[in-house]
A and B are shown apart, each in its own frame.
Chain A
Amino acid sequence: MSALIELEDAYGKVSRDPQFKDDLTAFLAEYAGRETPLTFCPNASQELGCKMYLKREDLVHGGSHKLNNTLGQALLAQRMGKKRLIAETGAGQHGVATAIVGAALGIPVEVYMGEVDTRRQALNVFRMELMGAKVIPVTSGTRTLKDAINEALRDWVANVRDTYYLIGSVVGPHPYPLMVRDFQSVIGREVREQVMKKEGRLPDTIVACVGGGSNAIGIFYPFLSDKVELIGVEAGGEGIETGRHSATLCAGDEGILHGTLSYLLQDENGQVLPTHSVSAGLDYPGVGPEHAMLRDNHRVTYTTVNDPQVLDAFRFLSKTEGIIPALESAHAVAYVMENADRFDRDDIVIINLSGRGDKDVAEVAGMTGRA
């Protein structure tokens, strides 16, 4: 608790500090490659019958939106005088983004990763190690993302004096959900300016995938008070009725995990349930508390798509636009494909393409029997 109070104070200070903002903006521009394009997709638009745009977070250095957050938090850790960064990772994208900032800022990094995930995302393990991070496979519990968070929290309480815990999504105890949302909101702020420039109006619909929910809140947040439809797409896995999914907001109920009251996938006694998704990055039984609020007040619509639809979307975007989406982001693409008849030809639909799919290519090839 003391560590969280220290973090809240430190974050309060830097968020009022123009120098911090300048440092972060410079890093985002010169190092991360922001702003990212808002790409119009002529072929997909033609096929789906709407004006489809992609917010290209796949082009952020490292291959996903994760660096927006790790840069912000690592600069904060540096100001707090912390000597070591620890992180959890599911698909490995957040681990990679943490390894990147560790190397760039000269801070040692250790990443906890579920043993199951180290196998299905071996390429990202190699990338992290290449950049000098130490990857620690987690063998407790379900050996996936939630267990990696458990281990990182345990490490943090043991080494709290010199260690900064760099959480990768809008989950965990306050102030993490707020801080990560702030750092990711750069996505939505850019979209707003870009769409006004290109179309002269706000979009009709914005679609993003939701695991913990950081890319979604990042693109939604600047539009919360506008007349823009916001859709969060959760991992339906093999189907909600099978129980093998990660659809926390669509199929979970109120619960507390990792210091957050939110929705949770749990059994009748409050034990946290194992999750399933074709994409390791959505494989989390909780969800950011702000999403829980946006669900309850009906500002955002949350829905699911299942693994086969996601694989179709993965292939569709690759083929029509030459852009291979991360399996996580392919959930948002799949939603638009499944609901194409809802949109008119002039409707502006923006998909947050939160990451690129190179990391998933081998696994998808394996699944479809093609190497």
Chain B
Amino acid sequence: MGRIEEVFAEGKRPAFIGFVVAGDPDKNTSLRIARALITGGTDILELGVPFSDPVADGPTIQKADERALAAGTTPDTVFDIVREIRKESEIPIVFLTYYNIVHHRGIERFYHDAHDAGVDGILIADMPVEEADEICAVASRSGIDPIFLVARTTSDDRIVKIAKKARGYLYLVAAFGVTGVREEISAGAIDLLHRVRRHTVLPLAIGFGISTPAHAQICARAGADGVIVGSAIVEIIERNLQDTDVMDRELKNFISVMKTGLI
């Protein structure tokens, strides 16, 4: 059983999936942040491979991308970070990135290097399922799960297409728009969850705007297999750039509090 599959195995409670931008604010601090997330109880670690033009992300994550790039983060840096984590943890690791990063390195090489470093899944935010045949073939050869976004505007036809190609889990986009902390989880997100459930047995994780245990609880009670939290974590990093000890403590606290929503 793969690492991702194991997280979603029968009888387990919904997964807490934490996202940070790899290399934010620099390689060593980023590694420390990853450790804090893992110690705090994160079930799947999503790492953003920074891109200069992250159009699917809101200002919080874009700034994290900018910090990482300013510190000189490259895909090679990110692979190094994964290798370091793999020395101490078997947590599933998923990359979130944009197609130009993958394409520029070469699809085969990117997936090969990712697998080699210990990556389990890759989500390319600007890769629609209609264009994803090559990516999925390479992913499958490399032993990497291709993970896809499903939005509230996604038609049932396209959900079926996406579910056929996706492995690992589906990333359901709760809100209209880009990543970022929001006040509440809309009823539309739960409708989406039920709609997608009719078409697939893949685990379904909800993200975009989830920042409180109450949000997590609403998703879990509605039957989500996981919740994805990014901007709320990145905000903690942004707030504590001057004091990484406080950052470390706040990250661990935040995750344990969030997980109370997932029992």
Contact = CB atoms under 8 A, between A and B. Distances in A.
Interface residues of A, number: 28
Q: Is the interface of B mostly helix, strand, loop or mixed?
A: loop
A259 interface: yes
Contact of A159 (B59, B126, B176): B176
Interface residues of B, number: 32
Contacts, number: 77
B86 to A, nearest CB: 22
B105 interface: yes
Nearest to B103: A256
Q: Is the interface of A mostly helix, strand, loop or mixed?
A: mixed
B69 interface: yes
Contacts of A89: none
A37 interface: no
A153 B103 contact: no
B58 A150 contact: no
A158 B154 contact: no
B155 A157 contact: no
Interface string B37-55: 0000000000000011111
A154 B55 contact: yes
Interface stretch (A94-102, A230-238, A262-270, A314-322): A262-270
Contact of A270 (B101, B151, B176, B178): B101
Interface in A179-223: none
Contacts of A154: 55, 58, 177-178
A256 B178 contact: no
A316 B88 CA distance: 68
B154 A157 contact: no
A258 interface: yes
Contact of B104 (A140, A141, A158, A266): A266
A255 B104 CA distance: 7
Interface of B: 51-56, 58-59, 62, 66, 69, 74-75, 98-101, 103-105, 126, 128, 130, 151, 153-155, 158, 175-178
Task: Please list the 9 inter-chain residue pairs (A to B) with the smallest Cβ-Cβ separation, ordered nearest first.
Answer: A158-B177, A270-B104, A2-B153, A271-B52, A272-B52, A256-B100, A269-B74, A270-B100, A1-B128
